[in-house]
Amino acid sequence: MKNDLLYATWRMAYIEAPKPKDQGCVFCNAPSDNQDDKNFIVHRGDKAFVIMNLYPYTAGHMMVIPFRHTNQFESLSDDEALEIFNLVSKSVKVLKQVMNPQGFNIGMNLGEPAGAGVAGHLHVHIVPRWTGDNNFMPVLADARVLSDAIENTYKKIKEAWQKI
């Protein structure tokens, strides 16, 4: 009998890492330690920041997150909401330039029942998409195939961000 194994060794870092409930809010902690390159923070605005998703659906998966800790969409001030959506727009422009996606998923999962992985702090996902990027791997192996390492993607996106 053939022994076919699929490895996703990068997942062990996530499995073994302290979870946000153990160390406070991951989205509050990331910008507070002022290590943007270590935390893959692409941009800091006045009210919100842009960060690479450490556990992306596709290469280039980014998030826009308000600095203020809230999980209530309706609690966003007009200034917060405007900056968040301006940063989403700029994220799309940068991703189009750097990665040439054929489409995007943009959205929020508000609350754990809606699928929010970090339900305590709202965030907007910007996920670049390509025809055929979602193959059999998630279905058969509960694994995703990413075409580039996050460090490489981050560098490309951060450089392009500063030029747009």
As annotated, the active-site residues are 123
d(CA 30, CA 163): 24
Decide the pairing of beta strands 48-52 and 124-129: unpaired
Contact 50, 62 (CB under 8 A): yes
Distance CA 14, CA 112 (A): 19
**Token pair in block for residue 55:** 């556990």
Query: Strand, helix or coil at 103?
Result: strand
